[in-house]
Amino acid sequence: MKGFFVTGTDTACGKTEVSLGLIQALQQHGLKVQGMKPVASGCEAGPRGLRNDDAQRLRTQSSCLVPYDWVNPYAFSPPIAPHIAAREAGIEIGLDLIRERADALAAQADCLIVEGVGGWRVPLGPDLAVSDLPQALGLPVILVVGLRLGGINHALLTAESILARGCHLAGWVANQIDPGLARREENLATFSSLISAPAVGFIPWLGEPGGGVVAPATLASHLAIEKIWP
């Protein structure tokens, strides 16, 4: 299986945006790419079951249209920690189903981009966490660093944990989630000097007064995909 597991320093740090940008950038290199979000909470009920907006965006951006539950096999309605949502739903999140769906996606693509849920150490069950997924899938990790006050501590702790658990940290992407962050360049320099992996990109504040979704092509333009893909 070739691809990357995208994790983040926290919830809402920009994992989906970076994942979409990676898919687009790899597609621009002529590759077939599939996106996956194995676990998602905060899903909305529809005629075909629960659907997560982030998972839908990954599915739409992917090179091949596949059944929704291949992309997001574990979907939960309440926007709460996934292990709590799973317990309330009477469901046990298991690696076997996630590996099965990931294998099916990988068979149709040159590269698989798998987005985690929440931060790196978010529990998925009594004996399972997000940090167990990249090892189970055999994927290197890309860390999304949310640029905001306190982000340095979160980024360094997460990077240390990724390496301590025997995972390969392929690179990191800084995403400016606070438009008013002071000393941005100094923060980026700190990450570059203390994280032992290449900087794959910096996504500036792209918010607009009216909101809206940023195009994957715009996100891809801020990523140096050649640093992680030959």
* 37 belongs to the catalytic site: yes
Please report, for residues 6, 26, 127, 195, 223, the alpha-carbon distance to residue 113 in angstroms, rounded to integers and kept in the order given.
Answer: 7, 10, 24, 22, 15
From the candidates 2, 15, 32, 37, give the one annotated as an active-site residue: 37
Q: What is the pLDDT of residue 229?
A: 92
Please report, for residues 105, 132, 177, 216, the alpha-carbon distance to residue 62 in angstroms, rounded to integers and kept in the order given.
Answer: 10, 24, 25, 11
- pLDDT tens for the chain, 230 residues: list them: 899 999 999 999 999 999 999 999 999 999 999 999 999 999 999 999 999 999 999 999 999 999 999 999 999 999 999 999 999 999 999 999 999 999 999 999 999 999 999 999 999 999 999 999 999 999 999 999 999 999 999 999 999 999 999 999 999 999 999 999 999 999 999 999 999 999 999 999 997 645 578 999 999 999 999 999 98
Do 63 and 46 contact (CB within 8 A), yes or no?
no
Whole-angstrom Cα distance, residue 176 to residue 28?
24
**CATH code for the part of the protein at 3-38+95-227:** 3.40.50.300
Residue in the structure block whose two tokens are 């905001």: 148
Task: State pTM to two decimals.
Answer: 0.96
Widest pairwise Cα distance in the chain: 50
Element spanning 8, H or E: strand 3-8
Whole-angstrom Cα distance, residue 11 to residue 118?
4
Whole-angstrom Cα distance, residue 141 to residue 114?
9
Q: What is the pLDDT of residue 208?
A: 62
Q: Where in the chain are the domains?
A: 3-38+95-227
Do 119 and 149 contact (CB within 8 A), yes or no?
no
Per residue, the 3-state secondary structure of 110-174, as one string, reads CEEEEECCCCCCCEEECCEEHHHHHHHHCCCEEEEEEECCCHHHHHHHHHHHHHHCCCCEEEEEE
